Amino acid sequence: SQTIHQWPATLVQPVGSPLSLECTVEGTSNPNLYWYRQAAGRGLQLLFYSVGIGQISSEVPQNLSASRPQDRQFILSSKKLLLSDSGFYLCAAGRGGFEQFFGPGTRLTVL
Amino acid sequence: AQSVSQHNHHVILSEAASLELGCNYSYGGTVNLFWYVQYPGQHLQLLLKYFSGDPLVKGIKGFEAEFIKSKFSFNLRKPSVQWSDTAEYFCAVTSTGGFKTIFGAGTRLFVKA
């Protein structure tokens, strides 16, 4: 079965600082990878998805970017964090229209 | 655009009560349907799924869901809830063969012991 690792688990960053959240996947190869932001009462908002190394699709214009340097590694970044970037970020892996497997998430607080 | 609507944001039930959580989606093509659950302090995980065939699907822990194509609905049910069912439940839709999954806003269920 697939295991999704995310780190760090929590992060407190000042406004204007850079961000790098990492996600790695075990137990599968060539997965589709996803970054979501989860906000209370608003479900999961898809931020980025990737169908292969170096292939990134952005769903929402924002201050964030994503990269996939390796098959099972997915990184969420920002050059300068905004207060509005605070939230709970989830990484997921899946195939086609099938179910996704989720990581434990990263709680980001921007002060 | 695809969308998923969950009818109730918060539900409070007593143990042994029956549960039905509503989910409607908006999409014109063939879809795969999911219910995910997030127990307190745990990862989001799959509860059940529908791809094709029998529109009544059974999942883990006694949950089931019925796909009604004409109503674009995929409601989640459980005949008798337990305290351990306290969690947040998300309905989700993916176009068949597609890459993107659209999630509903979630329903927080609290079961009183």
The pLDDT of residue A43 is: 86
Averaged over A29-44, what is the pLDDT?
Answer: 89
Tell me the average pLDDT across B81-108.
Answer: 92
pLDDT value at A27 more than 80: yes
pLDDT of the residue at B36: 97
Secondary structure of residue B76 in the 3-state scheme: strand
From chain B, pick out residues whose CB is under 8 angstroms from the CB of A59.
100
The yes-or-no verdict on residue A96 having pLDDT over 80 is no
How far apart, in whole angstroms, are the C-alpha atoms of residue A11 and residue B38? 21
Q: Which residues of B are less than 8 Å from A105 in CB distance? A: 43
Determine the pLDDT at residue A67: 97
CB contact under 8 A, A90 and B34: no
Residues of A in contact with B49 (CB under 8 A): 98-99
pLDDT of residue B83: 96
Mean pLDDT of chain A: 93
φ/ψ region of A9 (left if φ > 0, alpha if ψ in -120 to 50, else beta) reads: alpha
Nearest Cα neighbor of A22 from A61, A86, A70 is: A70
How high is the pLDDT of residue B96? 75
- Alpha-carbon span A47 to B85, nearest angstrom: 29
Q: pLDDT tens digits, residue range A49-71?
A: 999 999 999 988 788 999 999 99
pLDDT at position A15 = 97
Question: How far is Cα B21 from Cα B17, in angstroms, rounded to an integer?
Answer: 13
Q: What is the pLDDT at residue B91?
A: 96
Residue to test with chain A: of B91, B99, B102, B109, most A Cβ within 10 A: B99
Q: Assess whether pLDDT exceeds 90 at residue B104.
A: yes
Work out the percent of chain A whose per-residue pLDDT is above 70. 100
Q: Which of A25, A58, A99, A102 to mutate to test the interface with B (most CBs of B within 10 A)?
A: A99
Backbone φ and ψ for B69, nearest 5 degrees, come out as: -60, -40
